[in-house]
Amino acid sequence: MTATRGLEGIVAAESSICSIVDGVLCYGGINIDELAEHATFEEVVYLLWHGALPKRDQLETLKKQLGEAAAVPAEVIDSIRKYPQGIHPMAALRTAVSSLALYDKEAQDMSPEANYRKAIRLMAQTPTLIAAYARLRKGLEPVAPKADYTIAKNFLYMLKGEEPTETAIKALDVALILHADHELNASTFAARVTVATLTDIYSGIVSAIGTLKGPLHGGANEAVAKMLTEIGTMDKVEGYVRNKLDNKEKIMGFGHRVYKDGDPRAKWLKQMSKALTAQIGRPELYEMSVKIDDMVTGEKGLKPNVDFYSASVYISLGLEIDLFTPIFAISRMSGWTAHIMEQYENNRLIRPRADYTGPVGKHYVPIDQR
């Protein structure tokens, strides 16, 4: 037995949700470029869950279900009030989603219908939890969701307590579409491994959130924003990147396990970054990003991934830097739940083997002889 480090190139599941073939990303067979241009996030959620775009009445039903499910139990909000200061919002989200399960009477119901209803609740309530936590940590009361708002609009509304602009709603909606699914990325794989033991959907999502939190995965968007802040001005870019490259340090937002020739989502975020940073009068954020991109691509041949330009997009929307990864989680909740439901449909325990490299033939030694 020989191990494949990081399971690179290993095909670990069959799935009809999302494909990456020759660098082209599709959800349910539809190119991500078409979805980013024409779809809404709710249509994409339906597509991931059902394998086809919704007809008008199906979309209206889903939007109604999501809107009506967006409020979270008061007990969960009360428990968030008691979280210690200074924790990372992804840690708060991991705990808050876990506590949603405690108040869900269907938490242990493994029927496909109950799991679909729980997927709706998880999708609808994740933005509410994040917005509530973001306000409570600043001493502000949470803002209740509105049942007739889309996920992007509701999240921005609950976060800031005021009506968001159409530009902000559209930008967030497109970002949510772009991050919604990515076949067996680390967090989705973690979710599938978890539920393949036939544990409940909430346990799978908690695994996924914990996995997305890491800087090599979803946490990279926050790391990119911190890097832009640390660099500060255009004249410092070259020295900063040079230093990182010379010290063989990773530059966040670059490289990808699957895409070696560029991430198809990055061009959309780059375009949005250019427009939005200009609109807020901070074009230097885009210009610095392009310069970093040119240097890293030019010297290392590494292309920006989905996280690189999303950082300047979210800064332009006035979002706090440590909320970037939770926003990724809002989007990826659609993909995680789709994959969990697909795993349950055709389940087999996921249990690989390890290539043992430790000592052999040793014996137990009594404690006073060691």
Interface with ligand ACO includes 18 (CB under 6 A)?
no
Minimum gap (Å) between residue 124 Cβ and ligand ACO: 23
Of positions 157, 254, 314, 336, contacts ligand ACO by CB under 6 A: 254
Instruction: Give the H or E element holding residue 234.
Output: helix 234-246
Interface with ligand ACO includes 306 (CB under 6 A)? Answer: yes
Rounded Cα distance, 314 and 32, in Å: 20
Told to check if 104 binds ligand ACO by CB under 6 A, we report no
**38 labelled catalytic:** no
CB of 276 to ligand ACO, least distance (A): 20
Annotated catalytic residue: which of 181, 263, 307, 322?
307
**Is 326 among the residues that bind ligand ACO (CB under 6 A)?**
no
Contact by Cβ (8 Å): 119, 337: yes
- Which is catalytic among the residues 179, 182, 256, 339? 256
Tell me the two tokens of residue 50: 């059902």
Our finding on whether 342 is near ligand ACO (CB under 6 A) is no
Q: How far is CA 240 from CA 244, 251, 282, 299, in A?
A: 6, 10, 20, 14
Interaction of residue 302 with ligand ACO, rule CB under 6 A = yes
Residue with tokens 């697909």: 342
Rounded distance between C-alpha atoms, residue 225 and residue 83, angstroms:
25
Pick out residues in 281-300 that bind ligand ACO (CB under 6 A).
Answer: 300
Q: Looking at beta carbons, which residue is closest to ligand ACO?
A: 255
| Dihedral angle of Cα 61, 20, 317, 144, to the nearest 10 degrees | 30
Judged by CB under 6 A, the number of residues near ligand ACO is: 18
Are 145 and 158 contacting, i.e. CB atoms less than 8 angstroms apart? yes
Pick one of 45, 169, 231, 252: the residue that binds ligand ACO (CB under 6 A). Answer: 252
41 contacts 180 by C-beta, under 8 angstroms: yes
335 makes contact with ligand ACO (CB under 6 A): no
Own/partner contacts of 6-11, CB < 8 Å, gap of 24 or more, are 6/257, 8/257
Angle subtended by helix axes 201-212 and 324-345, to nearest 10: 140
| x/- letters, 220..249, toward ligand ACO (CB under 6 A) | x-----------------------------
- Whether residue 78 lies in the annotated active site: no
Binding site for ligand ACO (CB under 6 A): 6, 216-218, 220, 250-257, 300, 302, 305-307
Name the residues annotated as catalytic: 256, 307
